[in-house]
Structure 1
Amino acid sequence: MRRPSTHDAIVVGAGPAGTSLALLLARRGWAVAIVEKKMFPRRKVCGEFISASNLALLDRLEVGDTWRANAGPEIRRVGFFSGATCIEAPMPGGKYQPPAKEAFGRALGRDMLDFLLLQAARSAGAEIFQPCRAVSIDQDGGMQAVRIQAKDENSGDGTTFLRAPVVVAAHGSWEPGQLPSQLGKVCHPSDLLGFKAHFTGASLAPDLMPLLIFPGGYGGMVLADHGRLSISCCIRRDMLARLRKTRGSEPDDPRQDGHPSAAGAVFRHLMTSCRGVSDALDGARLDGPWLAAGPIRPGIRACYENDIFRVGNAAGESHPIIAEGISMALQSSWLLATELADAPSDRAGREGTGRRYQAAWRGLFSTRVYAAAALAGMALRPGGAALIGAAVRNFPRALTLGAHMSGKTRAIPGLG
């Protein structure tokens, strides 16, 4: 066992929320540790789109130029693909500083984005413990002790204790665990399971990001970096079981990556349920394996509980139907970093910081969480796809309005 290491803050999880928070705190002179269980670069089940309102924050993080050099094309149109219906409308624009001309978001693969942010945090002075898993968080006087387990056969027993007054959960919400900040494991037929793949050679218009609605689920497509098309979706557990049972004997498609019972069944379901998907992927090639994760846990949670702060999906998440997951992760970390900047480090100070941070979080995100829940509920309801399709056929600008309500044009407090 290694001797305890003391920091000002310990961040558990190195996704966009965790690394951006660590980066912001390290730039303010904090001694920060990041604990991440996986080696980078690694791919994630994620839609990968970042709204233009985040560009000022990326610049504040000093990764904006690199992000611009690698991200996919500007997304100027939002679409709706369901059955034979393919409808498009303008993406709502906005003026963000700097520079004002960048009014539209773009997509960058999580394998590149997460690595970029982690390297920036390392350069700012954050200490990275990777690959390591946080296995417990306990009070230790006026500090907290985080026990981490290294995934390294050459590190002895691999156990290290980190101590800090501030501990931040940035580990997401999909994976259950023993930490007090992690959600318990549940299993329901209505659970939504996530799937994700990249394709090359797809024919989707480069400035279009369509919403996909199909029986039992929803998803999206966007052109990301290096010509890769990113397609991600959520499907109900009971629908997936039905597809695996009824379609397991159908011939394989090389784009299924050899998983006819799970990802392959979802892929066939998408291809047969959305003409826009089958058209876009006609002749496309799978780039890397299909990924699966979940179930997703949409909802608003406590931003500070058991003396642990939460950011990203650990604090709360919207249904991914509105493609705001990365945006909410980055922005939640900005809110917490702002509150922590001059806060006292004792328990009473942390509690006051937690209350202010939770109020700021809900003020910025609650509307989009509720709007996403309403839209997802309608999409998943029997006949919901037809109802939404009829609405957007008669009023295509409803797609623009929906994108606006999802927060894609809302400025981040303190970055104007």
Structure 2
Amino acid sequence: MRRPSTHDAIVIGAGPAGTSLALLLARRGWTVAVVEKRMFPRRKVCGEYISASNLALLDRLEIGAAWRANAGPEIRRVGFFSGATCIEAPMPGGKYGPPVEDAFGRALGRDMLDHLLLQAARSAGAEIFQPCRAVAIDQDGDMQAVRIQAKDENSGDGTTILRAQVVVAAHGSWEPGPLPSQLEKASHPSDLLGFKAHFTGSSLAPDLMPLLIFPGGYGGMVLADHGRLSISCCLRRDMLARLRRTHSSEPDDPGQDGHPSAADAVFRHLMASCRGVSDALEGARLDGPWLAAGPIRPGIRACHERDIFRVGNAAGESHPIIAEGISMALQSSWLLAAELAGASSGRAGREATGRRYQAAWRGLFSTRVHAAAAIARLALGPGGAALMGATVRSFPQALTLGAHISGKTRAIPGLG
């Protein structure tokens, strides 16, 4: 075992939430360790869209210029694709600072975004432990000891102890594990499993981001960097099993059990259920394999519990139906960094900081979490797709209103 090292903060997870927090704290003079289990760049199940309200924050993180140089086109329209229905409406716009084109959001692949943020955190002075997995968190007096294991055959037993007063869980909510901040594994027929793929050569309008509603699930499409179309969706576990059985006679990509793979079943379902998807992907080429993750765990959780702070999906997440996951990850870290900057030392100080942070988190995010849950219930319920289709056909502005309610135009507190 290597000698323990001490930091001001340990961040577990190097997604947008973890790296942005590490970056913000390091620039305030904190010594920060970031623990990430995978090497970068790596692809991730994610919608990849970032609302315009985050661009001032990206500038504060000093990756705004790189993000603008690589992200896809501005998304000026929101759409609704379900069955034969294809409806479009304006995306709500707003001004969040110069230049004017920043009034609309754009998409950048997670393989690029996460790498940009991690490099910025490293440049700011954060110490990166990668690829390493956090396997335990124990109290050590007024400090906490995080035991990490390296995925390096040449590093002896690969075990290191990191010590800090502040430990932050930024590991997401989809994968169970041994840490007290990780959710227990459960499996239910109603679970929503996440899928994502990139395509090149699609015909989707470059400024359009449609919501996809289909039997048993929902999703979205957006044109991201370098002409890549990013398509992501959630599908109920029981619907996926049914689809795989239905298409078992002539599988294009058979799985180990003889049925079509989950990816093949999902792709067939999307193409058959949404004319807008089949039109956009006609002649398109798959760019890399389909990815799968989940089940997703939407809801609001404790932002500070067992002396561990949480950011990103670990703190709470909305249904991906509103495409606000990255926004919430970045903004939650901004909120926590602001609270930690003025925190008193000791456990009592951390408890008080946790209460303030949780109040700020819920004030900024609770409306969009509840709105996303209501929209998802409607989309997944009996007759929900038909009702939503009838509504947007009669009142297309409902799409614009929905995008507004989801938080896409809400300013981030403290970013003037």
Q: Distance in 1 between matches of 2:292 and 2:349?
A: 40
Q: Does 1:340 align with 2:362?
A: no
Q: Gaps spanning 5+ residues in structure 1: where?
A: none
Other-structure match for 2:205: 205
Other-structure match for 2:95: 95
Other-structure match for 2:250: 250
1:38-94 deviations in Å (ceiling 9; x for gaps): 000000000000000000000000000000000000000000000000000000001
**Helix, strand or coil: the match of 2:46?**
coil
Other-structure match for 2:262: 262
Conservation of the 8 A alpha-carbon contact between 1:252 and 1:260: yes
Number of positions where the alignment pairs a residue of Structure 1 with one of Structure 2: 413
Deviating more after overlay: 284-293 vs 94-103? 94-103
Other-structure match for 1:78: 78
CA RMSD of aligned residues (A): 1.2
- Cα deviation for residue 260 of structure 1 reads 2.6
Which amino acid is the alignment partner of residue 120 of structure 1? A
Other-structure match for 1:349: 349
Q: Distance in 1 between matches of 2:305 and 2:98?
A: 36
Q: Distance in 1 between matches of 2:259 and 2:408?
A: 35
Conservation of the 8 A alpha-carbon contact between 1:137 and 1:147: yes
Which amino acid is the alignment partner of residue 180 of structure 2? P
Other-structure match for 1:325: 325
- Cα deviation for residue 342 of structure 1 reads 1.6
Q: Distance in 1 between matches of 2:5 and 2:117?
A: 23
**Helix, strand or coil: the match of 2:210?**
strand
Other-structure match for 2:4: 4
Deviating more after overlay: 245-254 vs 41-50? 245-254
Q: Distance in 2 between matches of 1:260 and 1:53?
A: 41
Conservation of the 8 A alpha-carbon contact between 2:170 and 2:312: yes
Other-structure match for 1:405: 405
Q: Distance in 2 between matches of 1:375 and 1:338?
A: 32
Residues 253 and 207 of structure 1: CA distance in aligned 2, closer, same or farther (over 3 Å): farther
- Cα deviation for residue 414 of structure 1 reads 0.4
Other-structure match for 1:61: 61
State TM-score, norm by structure 1: 0.98
Other-structure match for 1:377: 377
Which amino acid is the alignment partner of residue 268 of structure 2? R
**Helix, strand or coil: the match of 1:408?**
coil
- Cα deviation for residue 253 of structure 1 reads 7.7
Which amino acid is the alignment partner of residue 218 of structure 1? Y
1:196-245 deviations in Å (ceiling 9; x for gaps): 00000000000000000000000000000000000000000000000011
Conservation of the 8 A alpha-carbon contact between 1:248 and 1:261: no
Other-structure match for 1:24: 24
Which amino acid is the alignment partner of residue 215 of structure 1? P
**Helix, strand or coil: the match of 1:280?**
helix
Query: Equivalent pairs: percent with the same residue?
Result: 89
Other-structure match for 1:155: 155
- Cα deviation for residue 259 of structure 1 reads 8.9
Q: Gaps spanning 5+ residues in structure 2: where?
A: none
Other-structure match for 1:293: 293
Conservation of the 8 A alpha-carbon contact between 1:56 and 1:98: no
Q: Distance in 2 between matches of 1:164 and 1:182?
A: 19
- Cα deviation for residue 261 of structure 1 reads 2.4
Other-structure match for 2:122: 122
1:2-38 deviations in Å (ceiling 9; x for gaps): 0000000000000000000000000000000000000
